Structure 1
Amino acid sequence: MTGMTAAVSRRHDRRWLAQVGAAAGLLLTVVALLLAPATPASAHAVLVSSSPTASAVVPSGPAEVVLTFSEGVRKVPGKIRVIAPDGSRADRGEPSFRGAVVTIPVDPAGARGTYLVSYRVISADSHPVSGAFTYSVGAPSTPPVDSGGDNRADPVVVNAVKVAKYLGYVGLLLLVGPALVLAALWPRRLSRRGPARLAWAGVGLLAFATVAELWLQVPYTAGGGLFDVTGAGVGDVLGSAFGTAHLVRLGLLAAAAFLLRPLVAGPVGRTDGLILAILGGSALFTWPLAGHPAASPAPAVSVVVDAVHLGSMAVWLGGLVMLAGFLLPRADERELGAILPIWSRWAALAVAALLLAGTVQGLIEVATPKALVETTYGRLLLAKIALFAVVIGVAAYSRALVRRRTAAGRPGRMRRAVWAELAITAVVLGVSATLVQTTPARTAAADVAGTPAGYFSTTVSSPVASIQVELDPAERGSNSVHLYAYTKDNRPQPVQEWKGTAALPSAGIEPITIPLLPLTDNHATGEISLPASGEWQLRFTVRTSDIDQATVTVTVPIR
């Protein structure tokens, strides 16, 4: 009797310790949430405009360069630079950030010629945004080279981030699958040692992937190699929404680990199971809160559906791993006859949730049918859909075996079907890991890299002057024309008279006169309405003296 009392006491002690550990993990999570910075939801940022505009020629040096992004951005120290024609730094002081607008102080007394603006900032979904463009003061010259470093991400780091995310997904399903099956479907006569090892492997893999993502985020956002990590960089990452979400994930994982120990040892009470389910459901939200969904046009909807998508994936694939690795090889026919119909219903619900959540998220992130086929994100999504369709076909075959009650008596067919599902979904997980690192289609389709959509600019030479031709927006309808004349040594060339016409021979449209108004000695502007798409031929005649005159022709594609 005394032995029984002692055993009961030990079980109570273990349960009490597990609940205390879970409470401590939850406390850490709450503290991390309270310390999190308040940041507004916004989309993956792209540069939508700049002043001066890309490739523009301005008569005098600006006092500042203004970058306007599609959404608010954060600073990456030392990664916004303006390079003068001689290669020196033209920016003066630190740039200012006000939401989506970045203002860079520039020396207005700089030399004439072409300036290079390079930038690297962090968008709200934690991804770096980088690029460069040029503008010229007085006249174009050979573009300078930025010797201060490359703003592009290290490909080794980019690939390492994808690997870490993939391992995180694998760790999640290896944890969820055993926990779910051990709690609800595991036969009492079978040893729990194998599923327990798998569950703890999932915990370790998930913890490793989370820490690796935090580490890699430093060089990924700031630029640099795998080990270019500084204390200041780590502090910036931990203080961001990305860092907060990952710290919360680690806290929830620590709390869940205390309750996982009694679960893998034997059946647990309803309260412990409920707490473990709440911890797991809460942890699912840390993935969308650290990525694209939190920055979508409908963040609340995107975060919820992405968490549902991820949870359904973990239940389905984790259950398949348990089915293929343990239940089908070890359970007898009677046990499989009881387990497989229940699992079949669970899998059907998980797949239905996957399809619904994936459809909603796809509509939000892609936005238009055109973006689905013309962007990398859209094409990856199509590949994922195609693979998923194959998996659904295999799953339907498995479900048919269960309905015909042949799986329990002949588990070989079922096992082969399950392994086929797992093999294909392993590829699907790889595509998913790439998708979360890819600019959403809704944003990529609108990415104009600092130049207005359809903006056209070119320079053509003639015996009397070089003529820079700009057409904005280079689309059907009203267009603005700007002309600049320069000498062979890139100095402004005074022009006495400007003439211009536009024609579309392929559509039978005869030359239309472009009214041109001189603004300065070497700059003229005009407005013209282009009624159709096609390769328009623009002809300009410049007269620089009573006897010096030349005509140039430019072909402009109009959409």
Structure 2
Amino acid sequence: MTAVHRRRFARLAAAAGLLVTVLALLLAPASPASAHAVLNSSSPAASTVVPTAPAEVVLTFSETVRKVPDRIRVIAPDGSRADRGEPTFTGGVVNIPVDAAGGNGTYLVTYRVISADSHPVSGAFTYSVGAPSEPPVDTGDSGRANAVVGNAVKVAKYLGYAGLLLVVGPALVLALLWPRRLSRSGPARLAWVGLGLVALSTVAAILLQVPYTNGGGPFDITADGLSLVLGSTFGAAHLVRLGLLAAAAFLLRPLLTGPVGRTDLVILGVLAGAALLTWPLAGHPAASPAPAVSVVVDAVHLGGMAVWLGGLVMLAGFLLPRADERELGAILPIWSRWAALAVSALLLAGIVQALIEVATPAALVNTPYGQLVLVKIGLFALVIAVAAYSRQLVRTRVAASRPAPVRRAIWAELAITAIVLGVSASLVQTTPARSVSTDVATDSGYFNTTVNSSLYSLQIEMSPAKRGNNSVHFYAYTLDNQPLPVVEWRATVALPSAGIEAIQVPLLPLTDNHATGEISLPAAGDWELRVTARTTEIDQATVTATVPIR
């Protein structure tokens, strides 16, 4: 096969891959524009006593949810399963058939569902038939989150980001800035490593999504669970990415061995742009209040990162050590302009992202998502300062004659941005601040805060933070942010301004460090929530939070 025929075949293969991608995007399941479902109501209502056993339990969530196999259960007072058959999902309403001939006593309902942005949401509550009894325990641990799986998901995302910049940088520099006299073998190997990392990360993300959603361990991957993931928007986006990578590989090979024509570069650019869209389509941006804007902005953010950091890797690893003074004098000013454009796009897209995902100044400071954004901003500012120094070297022509100073500056940029990528990998797995309004009961119906004692840090969540029935969750952590087992939980709420004395909150431990409860709050106002957690036979501490109820 001649070189001309090989290039024609590569173009046809890439075009076919792009066509398959477009079809997959058109046929992919639609995702509603919201995120992180909360349980709005239930029937029977939480903590209530009904005279006769119901024929079904109905859960109503704030948005459309999808099922996780065998993760919605109703436990009878004797510990047996009271649910019968599979629950049905209609938008945000879940109907669970139960045994209408069940005996009297307290029943436990546990649930784990998937919200619009592919993150699992879990909880539990009780209701009683006839009269309350000792609450049963769900031995299935449907609400348990596996720490190994959560960390593995972050590692997979980190590898994907790293692979993206390692393939974009060499491809861009080889296509437009590479001196003809220099060998392409080193950058080519780097690009193939990057492509392999992106492919590995994509496959790992698909496989890990199964235990991530069902609450299992890293090897709890079942055919049903995998089918559920592949049938979701998350799975479709990742399959599309794999198809685009395969299509791009056909055109990447000739580019890595020698110069290619403009048509090939245009097709590669289209494939790269389509691939960038698969990251936001599988995460928070696709479920934001403005999904079209968020998806495009996130893709621009990711593309700016890949161009900037990928170019820095090529400069530090190949061009500065190998190119001569004349070549560097021509290359570095062009690269400086590219970097300025990439950083500007990165900064502008980041600002838009923050405005959408954080929503309020209070959420920027008081939510885990907002705090990670602040860390990322601080690191980014440090990188920009180092980058400004290296750009100054380029403008004064020092870099072409003495490349060592700019090489050191570039390695410093890369070292800091490696940490930024780690923060980003954690950020995409963290609940957006718009869904967690700290210390404020928002219209979306959610309260979240973290309070500290001398023994532990306690994360408190309450929804819908309005008069009437509310769900509350407590998560205990050590002061260095590790899960802390709690032996006994106690909690009360009071509204002194209305003369309402302390009301006991009935609590159910779901995991070692997580307890949940249901409480009916009869009036609006600033309620005082007091929580006591006993961590050993003798160690305990009490924390207090003010919860605004509207």
| Normalised TM-score (structure 1) | 0.79
Q: For residues 512-548 of structure 1, what are the alpha-carbon distances to aligned partners after superposition, in whole Å with 9 as ceiling and x for unaligned?
A: xxxxxxxxxxxxx997786xx5769xxxxxxxxxxxx
**Is the 1:170–1:202 contact (alpha carbons within 8 Å) kept by the matching residues of 2?**
yes
Say which SS state the counterpart of residue 408 (structure 1) adopts. helix
User: CA separation in 2, counterparts of 1:480 and 1:99?
Assistant: 38
| Distance change >3 Å, CA 310–CA 526, structure 1 → 2 | closer
Say which SS state the counterpart of residue 45 (structure 1) adopts. coil
| Distance change >3 Å, CA 280–CA 529, structure 1 → 2 | closer
Partner of 2:42: 50
Partner of 2:22: 30
User: CA separation in 2, counterparts of 1:137 and 1:481?
Assistant: 28
Map 1:88-103; keep pairs closer than 5 Å.
Answer: 88-103=80-95
Structure 1 unaligned blocks of 5 or more: 1-8, 459-468, 485-524, 537-554
**Is the 1:377–1:440 contact (alpha carbons within 8 Å) kept by the matching residues of 2?**
yes
Partner of 2:328: 336
Partner of 1:498: none
1:157 corresponds, among 142, 149, 160, to: 149
Is 1:135 aligned with 2:135? no
- Asked which structure has the greater CA Rg, the reply is 1
1:426 corresponds, among 418, 422, 426, to: 418
Partner of 2:537: none
Q: Residue 256 of structure 1: CA displacement? A: 0.8
Partner of 1:84: 76
Say which SS state the counterpart of residue 386 (structure 1) adopts. helix
Partner of 1:177: 169
Q: Residue 42 of structure 1: CA displacement? A: 3.0
AA partner of residue 412 (structure 1): A
User: CA separation in 2, counterparts of 1:280 and 1:451?
Assistant: 41
1:374 corresponds, among 342, 350, 366, to: 366
2:465 corresponds, among 440, 448, 453, to: 453
Q: For residues 385-440 of structure 1, what are the alpha-carbon distances to aligned partners after superposition, in whole Å with 9 as ceiling and x for unaligned?
A: 11111111111111111122211111111011101111111111111111111111
Partner of 1:358: 350
AA partner of residue 419 (structure 2): V
Q: Residue 52 of structure 1: CA displacement? A: 3.8
Identity of aligned residues (%): 72
**Is the 2:76–2:82 contact (alpha carbons within 8 Å) kept by the matching residues of 1?**
yes
User: CA separation in 1, counterparts of 2:501 and 2:302?
Assistant: 51
| Distance change >3 Å, CA 141–CA 434, structure 1 → 2 | same
User: CA separation in 2, counterparts of 1:387 and 1:217?
Assistant: 29
| Distance change >3 Å, CA 57–CA 51, structure 1 → 2 | same
Partner of 2:222: 230
User: CA separation in 1, counterparts of 2:410 and 2:42?
Assistant: 54
| Distance change >3 Å, CA 342–CA 475, structure 1 → 2 | farther
Partner of 1:316: 308
Q: For residues 111-140 of structure 1, what are the alpha-carbon distances to aligned partners after superposition, in whole Å with 9 as ceiling and x for unaligned?
A: 343322111111111111112222334544
Partner of 2:515: none
Partner of 1:487: none
Map 1:109-508; keep pairs closer than 5 Å.
Answer: 109-445=101-437, 446-447=445-446, 451-453=463-465
Say which SS state the counterpart of residue 398 (structure 2) adopts. coil
AA partner of residue 118 (structure 2): S
Partner of 2:2: 10
Corresponding pairs, count = 480
Structure 2 unaligned blocks of 5 or more: 438-444, 448-460, 471-490, 505-519, 530-543
Q: For residues 330-375 of structure 1, what are the alpha-carbon distances to aligned partners after superposition, in whole Å with 9 as ceiling and x for unaligned?
A: 1111111111111111111111111111111111111122222222
AA partner of residue 252 (structure 2): L
Partner of 1:494: none
Decide which moves more: 96-105 or 326-335: 96-105
AA partner of residue 399 (structure 2): A
| Normalised TM-score (structure 2) | 0.80
User: CA separation in 1, counterparts of 2:400 and 2:239?
Assistant: 44
How big is the alpha-carbon RMSD for the aligned residues of Structure 1 and Structure 2? 3.1
**Is the 1:45–1:129 contact (alpha carbons within 8 Å) kept by the matching residues of 2?**
yes
Q: Residue 212 of structure 1: CA displacement? A: 1.1
AA partner of residue 423 (structure 1): A
